[in-house]
Structures are given as structure tokens and as C-alpha cells.
Amino acid sequence: MSAEMIVFWILAIGAVLGALAVVLPPFGRNPLHGALALVVSFIFMAGVYVQLSAFFVAVIQVLVYAGAVMTLFVFVIMLLNLTPEELAQPKYSWYKVLSVFSALAIGFIVASGLTHVLVHFHAASIPATFGNAASVGGVLVKKWLFVFEFSSILLLSAIVGAVLIARKRRS
Amino acid sequence: MNDIVLLSPIWLSALTGLLVMLIDVLAARDQRPGYLGYVTATGMVVSGALALFLWRHGAALTSPFLKGVFSFGPYTLFFGLIVLMMAAASLIIAPDYLRQQDADQGEFYVLAAFSASGMLVFVAATDLVAVFLGLETMSLSIYAMTASNPRSAVGAEAGMKYFVLGGLASSFLLLGTAFLYGITGSTNIVDIGNYFMVNPPLGAAILPSFAMALVIIGLGFKIAAVPFHFWTPDVYQGAPTPVTVWMAGAVKAAGFAVFGRLLLTMFHANTFMHIAFNYKLVVLALALLTMTYGNLVGIVQTDVKRILAYSSIAHAGYILLGVYAVGTSGLLDSSVGFYLLTYAVATIASFGVVTLMGGSMNEDTSLDRFAGFGRRHPLLGLLLTISLLSLAGIPPFAGFAGKFYLFKDVLQSNVQYNLPVVIFALVNFPQITGLNSGVGCIKRPICCVIFTHLMLDVTLLRLRSNGLNSLHLKHFLQPLSSNLSGNLGP
Amino acid sequence: MNWNIVLAATIKWVFMVLVFGLGVAGILTWVERKMSAVIQDRVGPNRASILGFRMLGLFHPLADAIKAFTKEDFVPDGANRVLFFLAPLIALVPGMLAFAVLPFGPGDNLVIANMDSGIIALLAITSFGIYGATLGGWSSNNAFAMLGSLRAAAQMISYEVSMGLNLVGMFMVFGTLSFSQIVYAQGHLLGGWLPEWGIVVQPLAFILFMAAALAENKRAPFDLPEGESEIIGYNVEYSSMRFATFFLSEFFEVVLIAAIVTVLFLGGWQIPWLDPKGIAGGWIRVLQVGAFVVKTLFVIWVMMLARWTLPRFRYDQVMKLGWKIILPLSLLNILVTAIVLAML
Amino acid sequence: MGVPLSYYIGLAVVLFTIGAIGVATRRNMLVVLMSLEIMMNSVNLVFISFARFRGDVGAHGIVFVVIAVAAAEVAVGLAIAIQIFKHNRSVNVDEADKLKY
């Protein structure tokens, strides 16, 4: 196994374990633990991004997800002072079971499809500047200019929406 | 410069949101923000006027920035106009309702305007990333609008359900986009279609088919097609009724516009994809399932908003049938556009009446409360009956014409199984849903409503004229089809 | 992977963090006390002595450390032990790691990780500090600690936004996200005499950034989350070494913020009007690193001055300042910068 | 590149599946939200790995849009969760059952 492969496995296993800790009931019973596990998972995923030469995206991933989004989660969990769902037995309705099975089936189908399809791909040779701030910025303001600009409307509507829902009513 | 002109409907509706936000902040504290609804509606109308202007004069405009990401052809503008019209109608209904619920807040209208601009992006996008962004802008605002009434527990619950399932759907759409990007190297739908037309699939066809299926699932959620519909009744019932109008009218129209565009562009007559993943059959299956389910389950409902929700599910099935039938030339010169228009007008009218009722009925919209409605409010009762009959597709009304031409199109097209499908759909006529609620309205009086709404009159007139026009549908469709034929791509 | 690079980076990091950061942070506790004493017309700490030598109380930090180590390590009943243990470390480590992207001298050698998007990386790393404060309060199983950590989280989230936004103007002016390149760019002289330091081209951003950074670090006058003297903070249940870790992390962040401000707004290691030709090769670097250290210490001094001369804000004032004054001003700063840059 | 593309895509699919299972089975709305975030992230991983193997930095721009969307979604989702909590004293998805089939 090459060094890159070892690094990949470490990162992958870390990311998957973190994600599992969020989702699986025995670990993720306390939402705060789930949130922290997710932070760890995101950091490992940022490591995978670095391995894929996406430096700037990796940094933004850490900044936005681990730094901002998950902080918000932790804040809300603390604000609501949520207790672990110890007493709550998970209800297994048919559609939940069905959806889990279909999710697993989809995962299996894709995984089997991948082995046929993706072997055709070989890593393209990339310039040294691939994925740095300048190149990503260039893409954003050239190729995705309007999409980039319009995302400001998206963010603004999210802010307004959050304020509308969660604020105290003016009397 | 051209891009600013071309995007004018989009940025104008977004600007309306900003303007409304500013007015709301600067306005006197004790003033009810209801008038902002009219301001926003005006913004939508102006935006629609700009779209009409572009329709007339914008054909020659091109912009390098928008190339490949947006198309402002007649297809976009037609559906954009439908969307804006319905948005304006919902906004005119909203203020009175919200005031009665004591839930009128200026931000509601800001979100509505942003949502409308998101819908326009959604409709205009020819790139899956822009589709996703428009979808999310539209949906995020609607999630918030759904949960906007702080007193309403059902509103919060509806918002949660819509949010969770909507988020799930958009991540499916996104995963499909990602795989399509991986296979074809592009997120532009025309490029993707061309790629599949020219290139043999890499290895097995499973990955492209899977990606396409994910995209269909993601959009299927938004148009509430049947295996992905289960949020619809709950959310339609729990949301404030103006928001329900918004979802049943504008969102659905936008969803179908994008659904049609994506399917017909990305699968553009390519042989390989038909072997691996026959999207036509998938759409047919969705259509039949959706109309049957909507009609059957709708019968047993006792809440008017739920009935209308199931009715909208059933109608989604019919529209899907139209999508199934149209050829590669596009949705516009088919009867789908017209069907969508009649559906939209009738939906807005019927939900509008329910809105006026619901506000004063403390959000209890069960069927019993509508007993004797026609005696108490003859005009509203008549309007509700007409629109429900139109939704049901009973002959003198526009809905009948819509269905008639839809079935005619399906029969005349050369798709597989067209005859049995039409027979099935005819048997499946949603008259039961409509009649059930229609009869319920003409019973005995219990409570009263004060408002007769301007917009409802307009809608009524519109409905009537459409009903008359539908006798000469060709006159209505002729200018459309001659102007708009076959303009799907950029 | 080149292990030499890793080794060199580790050595540099150890030097930067353990020698510079930790050393300065240790001394700072003494400086802070002495300075407050001077300001308040007191004598300040002067009792700790080794073999009779008092050295102006310089041994007090040492005595504090020994005290912290030997005190009882108290864990409150019902506390979440793992998180209670981790919280001080989470507060401390990001501050230590963040030194890695700061250049303390010219060239590639005098910076540990010369990242292309170093400033964003720094913001990303420091944003983890929030977890330390919030988890510390949450895991203590104490209502007051919990409230303190909520205050801390809200305050830090609020000011993180302004902190980032104030840097946008710098990005626009200098056109880079890299610390090293920003420092190099600040070596230019505007009009031949005015150094193009960040404080000169972005004066408003400098002031706002300082304020936001102070608030982000929860230092006076924004020390609501802790409020050593009156308000009960998130670290109320902490004692001994764990409390010392929180305490240390605060001083560490003081050094960090001062270093960031130096690098971004005060020209980093640049010495204006200095002609490097006159000085022998090696010494110029020593001088420049020295300039960096002196500037950093100066900023620290300013921050301490702020602490001992300004009264504490009320909580609503903190929030109002953050969202209604600093944030709009930062946006205005960006707008003005954009207009000016477009016109130039 | 020592690691073939299928490994990265496989990791992304595994994470996506984990997220989907979380959305389907967990009852706490906050955990459901986190699962949605995992799904979005795995899609980002797909984009980034294809970008690397195609040598096309354009997909990094898409990832930015996705990150912005995910952050916006979290803001609205958490606000809805707080609203639910105000009404039900819990963020349990199943306990919100006032709307029935």
C-alpha cells in the first residue's frame, strides 16, 4: 500500500466513523455527541479534499461546516437543553425500514456500478495552482458568475426566514 | 448590459423583496404590514410585465455570462409568467388571511418575493447547478413561510416535514447532478443530452441511469408525484393557506416546467438511454400511480385543504401524462401548458375561497364547516363550485378543455400504450374528489365571512373567460404554438 | 512525503508556539498584573521570591503554575467527564495551531506553513475556540456555567462574522489570501514615504477588527462570558490545571491576535524606510523578526490598556455593538473599498 | 494519484447512504438535520473527486454553491427546530403528529 492509500484509509475510516456516530442510535443518542462526531467527520473529509488537491475548498469546508454550521448546532442543542433520548425507543414504521433497505440497495447498486464505470477514469494531470484560492475564485466569477451572485439572495432569504420563524413576535 | 435586461424579471422580484424589507423596517411600528403584500404583488406583476416585454423583444438578446446557464426563450418566459401570475394571486390573498390569524409579519412578503425570484431562476436554468440553486432559494423561503405563524403548532410541524423531505429531495437531485457531471464532465443539460447522444456509455449503463433516476426523484418530490408525495397532504393542510396556494400553484408550475425541460433535453432522443433507462415508461408509471392515488385517497378525506392537496396530486398525474406524451419538440406546443394554466387558475380560486373561510374559521377547514357555504356566501360558493368543477374536469369549464386536449394529445402522439392509458385516465377522472367537496358546500349555514376579494373576482372572470375560450381552444393555443414551438434549449 | 519538511515545520512550530507564544503568554500574566497595579496606583505582585530574590514579582507566574498543578482537580457531580476534560484543550489547541500560518520573518523559512489561503485557514482554525467555551460550560452540569457558555457562544458567533468581514477589505486591496504575500505587499511605500500598511489603507477595518478580535477572545471590555469579578462564567466549575489551561488559552489568544493584527495591519516584519543594503545578510532577518516581535508586544500592550481602562459592556450592548454597529460598518468598509478600487 | 477514483466515490456513496439512513430512522430533528448535512457533504466529495480526475476546477465552484446552500438550510432548519420545540417541548419528529394521514 502506498502512503497515499494509507492516508486515504485513515481519512475515510475517520469520516465514516464520525458519520456513523451521528446516525447510529447507540452512539448518537445525545445530539451533542452527534454534533461533535460530525465535526470530526467533517475535518476528516476536509483531509480527503486536500488529498484531492482541493485546498481552498477544504479550508472553506472547515471554516463553514466545522466552524460555523456545527457551532450553530451546538448552540441550539445547548439553548434547547436537549436531554438524551434515552427513554424514547425508536419506532420502526414500515417506510423507515423500507427506506433503510432501499438506501442500502442503492448504495450496493452504485458500488457495483462503480467498479465497472470508474476504472475508465485516470487522474488528469493538473497544474500546481489547481484548487487554490485564485483558481477557484476565477471559476466562481467567470463560469458561475450569476449562480454565485444569486446565492446571495439564497443566503439573505435564509437569514430572513430564520428571523421570521425564530424571533419573538413584536407585540 | 444584455444580461441585466434578460435577467430583469429575476432581479426585479429579488429587488422587490429588498424594497419590502426596507419599507418594513422604516414603517411605523404599530402599522400592520398587510399592505406589503400588495407591494410585493405589484412587484410580481411588474416583473411579469418585464417577462412579457422580453417575450416580445428579447429574442435577439444574448449574453456571454448567461450562456449555458440560463435560457430566456419563450419556454422560460411562458412558465415564468404562469409562476409570477400565481405568485401575485397568492400574495393578494395573503394579507387578510394573515391578519385574521394574527400572523402578519413583513418578512413573510420579503420571503415570498425571494421565493419568486428563486422560482424564476429555477425555471430559467439550463444548468443543473442553477436548477439546484433556484430550487433551494425557492424552497428555503417556503419552508420559512410555512412555519411562519408562531401560534400555529401545525404550521411548525408542516414546516418541519416539508423541510426534512425537501432537503432529502434536493440532496438526491444534487447527487444525481454530481454523477451526471462525473460522467459527462458538464452540468449543462444540453451538453449532458448531447453527450449521451454521441458517446457510448462508460462501462455499464447503471451509473447514468442511476443519476437520472436520482434527478427524477429529486424533482418528483417537488411536483408531488406518487411515491414521493407523502409530505403533500400534511404540508398543504398545516401550512398557512396562502402558502398552500403558493405551493400548489406557483411551485408546482415551476416544478413541471423544469421537470419537462430536464427530461426532454437530457434524454433527447438518445437510443442508449432508452435501452438502459426508459424514462418515458418511468414517467408513465409515475403518472398512472399519481393520478390513481390522488383520486382514490382524496375521496375519503374530510378536510378541504387535504382534499385539494390530493386533487393537486392527481393533477400532477395528468400533467405527467402530458409530459409522457409530448415529443422532443417540447412542452409548449403541447396541451400541458394550457392544462397547467387551467389547473393553476382553478387551484388559486378554490384555495382562495378556502383562505377567506379558513382565516375566520380558526384554521379549521374540515368539510363540515363548509356546509351551507353556498347559502351564506352565494358568490364565493359559486366561485368555489365552479373552480372545483373545473378542477374535476366537468364539461363547460376550462378544466374540461384542459383534460380534453391533453387526452387528445396523448392519443395523437405515437407513444406506447396511448389508448389504454387514456382509457385508464378517463376512468380515473377526479370528479369524485371535486364533487365530494362541491356538494359539501351547498348545505346549511353556520358561520360567515366578510370579504369579497378583488382578486377572486378577477380570477372568476379569468376562469369564466377561459371556460368560454376553451370552446375554441385552437384560438387560444394557436398563437402560443406558433410563437413558441420548439424552444427548449438556450 | 518529505519527512524533512515535516521535521522542520515541527521544530519551527515548537519554537513559535512553545518558546514565543507560551513564553510571552506566561510573562503576560505578570505584565497584566503589574500594569493593572500601575493604572490603579497599587504595587502589584511582589511577594514570590526565590532565595530572597523578588525580581519585581517576576516569579509569580511560576508560583501560579505550581499552584495550579498541585491543587485538587475537581470534577463536579454529574459532569460529562470526557467533554469536561476535552473542553480546555479544545480552547487551547486552536490558538496554538493558528501560529503555524503566521509569517514572523521574510521568506519561506520563517513561516511554518506558508499557505496560499492562510488567512481563511486561520479563521477556520480559530473558529474552533468556540467549542472550548461552549462545551466547558455544557459539560460542567451547572446552570450558571451553561448560561455563561451560551453567552460565550452567542458572542463569539456574532463577532466571528465581523472579524471575517473586516478582512475582506484587506483581501480586496492586496489581492491575496496569503499572509506572506500581504506582508510583502505592505513593504511598498505609498508616494515614496507612507508605508502601505493595512492600518493606512484600511484604517476602519483595523479598528473594527481589533474590537471584533477582542470580543472574539472574550477579553475586557467584552469579558461577559467569564466576568471574573462579578458574573459567573462558563469556567466556574473548573479548577487547578484545567482552569489554568483556560486561563492560558486566553493569554495565548492575546498573543495570537496581536500577531495577526501585526501581520495584517502593521506590516508584519517589515521595517519601513530601512535600506537593507547597509546591513549584513543575516542580521537583516534578525532585525525584521525583532520588528515583528516588538510590534506584537505593542499591540498586546494596547489590548491590556483597553482592558484596564474601559468598563465592561452589558450583554445587550455587546450584541448591539456587534450586529448593529460593527457589522454594518464592516459592510460599508467593503463597499467603500470596492468603489475606491474600481475608481483607481 | 495512488488512490483510484472508485475509492473516493465509494466513500462518498457510503457517506450518502449513512446520511439517508439517518434521515429515515432518527427521530430527533437536529440529528435529521445533521444527516442531511452528511448527505450534502458526500455530494461535495463526489464533485471534488470528479474535478480532480477530470482536471476541471469548475466543479469547485459548484461545491461552493452547495456549501452555501447547506449553511442556509441549516439556518432555516434550526429555526424550524426551535419553533417545533416551543410548541412540543421536544424536537422529536414523531411527536409532531398533529397532522395525520
**Residues paired with residue B127 on neighbouring β-strands, in sequence order:** B188
Please state whether at least 3 CB pairs lie below 8 Å between chains B and C: no
Q: What is the pLDDT of residues C243-265, one digit of tens each?
A: 888 888 888 888 889 999 999 99
Q: Which H helix or E strand runs over C284?
A: helix C281-309
Are residues C123 and A67, on separate chains, in Cβ contact within 8 Å? yes
Q: How far is A2 from chain B (nearest CA, A)?
A: 26
User: Is residue C102 in some structural domain?
Assistant: yes
Structural domain containing residue B438 = 278-490
Model ipTM value: 0.90
Q: How far is B396 from chain A (nearest CA, A)?
A: 42
CB of C145 closer than 8 Å to CB of C233 = yes
Per-residue b/e over C118-153, b at no fewer than 16 CB within 10 Å? bbbbbbbbbbbbbbbbbbbbbbbbbeebbbbbbbbb
Q: What is the pLDDT of residues B234-259, one digit of tens each?
A: 888 888 888 888 888 889 889 988 88
Are residues A3 and C1, on separate chains, in Cβ contact within 8 Å? yes
Confidence category of residue B485, pLDDT binned at 50, 70, 90: very low
Determine how many CB atoms are found less than 10 A away from the CB of residue A6. 12
Count of the separate structural domains present in chain C: 1
User: Is residue C139 in some structural domain?
Assistant: yes
- Give the mean model confidence (pLDDT) for residues B365-386: 71
Q: What is the pLDDT of residues B59-111, one digit of tens each?
A: 677 777 777 788 887 788 888 888 898 888 888 888 888 887 777 788 899 99
Quickly list H helices, B27-105.
Answer: 35-57, 74-100
Residue of A nearest to C82 (CA): A33
pLDDT at A29: 66
Helix (H, G, I), strand (E, B) or coil at C297: helix
Helix (H, G, I), strand (E, B) or coil at C47: coil
| Helices A70-80 and A31-51, packing angle to 10 deg | 180
**Dist. CA A64–CA A73, nearest whole Å:** 12
Chains near B with 3+ CB pairs less than 8 A apart are A, D
pLDDT at D25 over 50: yes
User: Is residue C18 in some structural domain?
Assistant: no
| Helices C143-174 and C118-126, packing angle to 10 deg | 170
Are residues D84 and B154, on separate chains, in Cβ contact within 8 Å? no
Q: Which H helix or E strand runs over B242?
A: helix B241-246
User: Is residue C8 in some structural domain?
Assistant: no
Residue of A nearest to B176 (CA): A110
Q: What is the pLDDT of residues B265-286, one digit of tens each?
A: 776 655 455 555 567 778 888 8
Are residues B203 and A117, on separate chains, in Cβ contact within 8 Å? yes
In chain D, what are the domains? 5-88 (1.10.287.3510)
**Dist. CA C305–CA C285, nearest whole Å:** 30
Helix (H, G, I), strand (E, B) or coil at D28: strand
Considering the segment(s) A1-87 as one domain, its CATH architecture is Up-down Bundle (1.20)
Structural domain containing residue C200 = 72-343
Q: What is the pLDDT of residues B162-204, one digit of tens each?
A: 999 899 999 999 999 998 898 888 888 888 888 877 766 555 5
User: Is residue C297 in some structural domain?
Assistant: yes
User: Is residue B54 in some structural domain?
Assistant: no
For residue B283, give Cα distances in angstroms to B279, B328, C299.
6, 15, 67
For residue C138, give Cα distances in angstroms to A76, C76, C92.
12, 12, 17
**Dist. CA C211–CA B422, nearest whole Å:** 70
**Dist. CA A146–CA D59, nearest whole Å:** 15
Chain A residues 87-126 with CB within 8 Å of chain C: none
**Dist. CA B86–CA B268, nearest whole Å:** 30
User: Is residue B211 in some structural domain?
Assistant: no
pLDDT at B435 over 50: no
**pLDDT tens over chain C, length 344 residues:** 567 777 887 887 777 777 777 777 778 888 888 888 888 888 878 777 777 777 777 788 788 888 888 888 888 888 888 888 888 998 888 888 888 888 888 877 777 777 788 888 898 888 888 888 888 888 888 888 888 888 888 888 889 888 889 999 888 898 888 888 888 888 888 777 888 888 888 899 999 999 999 888 888 788 877 776 677 788 888 888 888 888 888 888 888 899 999 999 998 888 877 766 767 667 888 888 888 889 998 998 898 888 888 888 888 888 999 999 999 999 999 999 999 999 98
Nearest to B107 among A151, A153, A163 (CB): A163
- Using the Cβ of A94 and the Cβ atoms of chain B, whether some distance falls under 8 Å is answered with no
Q: What is the pLDDT of residues A102-160, one digit of tens each?
A: 777 777 776 666 666 666 677 777 787 787 888 888 888 888 888 898 999 999 999 99
User: Is residue B58 in some structural domain?
Assistant: no
pLDDT at B330: 56
Q: What is the pLDDT of residues C129-156, one digit of tens each?
A: 888 888 888 888 888 888 888 888 888 8
Return the ∠ at Cα B85 (arms to B79 and B91), rounded to 5°: 135
User: Is residue C226 in some structural domain?
Assistant: yes
Retrieve residue D80's grid coordinates. 424550524
CA contacts within 13 A on the Cβ side of B157: 21
Confidence category of residue B444, pLDDT binned at 50, 70, 90: very low
Count of the separate structural domains present in chain B: 1
